[in-house]
Amino acid sequence: MSDSKEALLDHVDPPPAYDPPKPRGAPLPRPPPLSLPVLNDLRTKRVVLASQSPRRRQIISYLGLPVEVIPSNAEEDLPKDLAPFEYVLGTATKKARAVYEQEITNEEKGEPALILAADTVVVNIVTGTILEKPTSEAHHFSMLRGLRDARKHKVYTALVAMAPLESARLPGYAMESHVEETDVTFDGDVSDEVIMAYVRTREGADKAGGYGLQGLGSILVAKVEGSYDNVIGMPLKATLKLIETVMAKADDDHELPDDDPLVDVEDEDEQ
């Protein structure tokens, strides 16, 4: 190599270094929250999640909303002979109404701007059985073995959103709902030994269908067709759309007709 080339290389800056690797196990940084008008407005108001599920709370937190958890005290006692769609929607609606009625007159905190409720069930499509949380180790094992033998099952999550109407006219609130359906296929080769070992971890003890897709329960699953987070308990895309719809309907002041009773009362008061 000539002296001129060596001198040139001596003055060439080295390429920029890559960022140093993060320590193993460090969580990935969360992206900034979505800057959407409806979400920006709700970030200054009360948003109530009528569910104590930590998984739902985590999923809804991705929207950057200051969620207040107030579990519903509504009885989940609808008859299991209802169609799964009707059962899950009816249960979620009862949860939303119970919390709405409890919080709408909260003088200390003020009325919520939005109440979200959800209910999830798993349906064994061979037996048609609606599965909620297992009640014992034996029930848990039987539930999962039945899902394995059926191979494919359905997961339904009903979402219900309620928001007080700006106009306060009857019924006083806007309510919107959505039911998400996802097909899940279990691995037919999973042994009874593996199922029992999973049952004894207790990971799925508090989950509809008895397994957690986001955790160790994924060893039981071969395929998911549809929304992945629906199986966890709250489909995020559908939740955002539901929030946008119900909040638009709640802002109904501009929709009052000239002959609306509320308008007449206001005019008379001014006179």
Catalytic residues: 119
What is the C-alpha separation between 79 and 87, in angstroms, rounded? 8
Place of tokens 């569910």: 51
Report the C-alpha dihedral over residues 135, 141, 146, 151, rounded to 10 degrees: 120
For 64, 95, 144, 163, the CA distances from 59, given in Å and listed in that order, are 10, 19, 25, 20
Place of tokens 């409806």: 38
Report the C-alpha dihedral over residues 131, 71, 48, 244, rounded to 10 degrees: 10
Contact 153, 230 (CB under 8 A): no
Place of tokens 């007159």: 105
- Give which of 73, 72, 68, 77 is closest to 114, Cα–Cα: 68
Contact 65, 47 (CB under 8 A): yes
Q: Which residues contact 121 (CB under 8 A, 6 or more apart)?
A: 84, 87, 88, 130, 131, 132, 155, 156, 208, 209
Q: Where are the alpha helices (DSSP H) in the chain?
A: 3-10, 37-42, 54-61, 84-103, 137-150, 192-199, 228-232, 236-250, 261-270
What are residue 162's DSSP bridge partners?
Answer: 115, 175
- Give which of 116, 99, 119 is closest to 49, Cα–Cα: 116
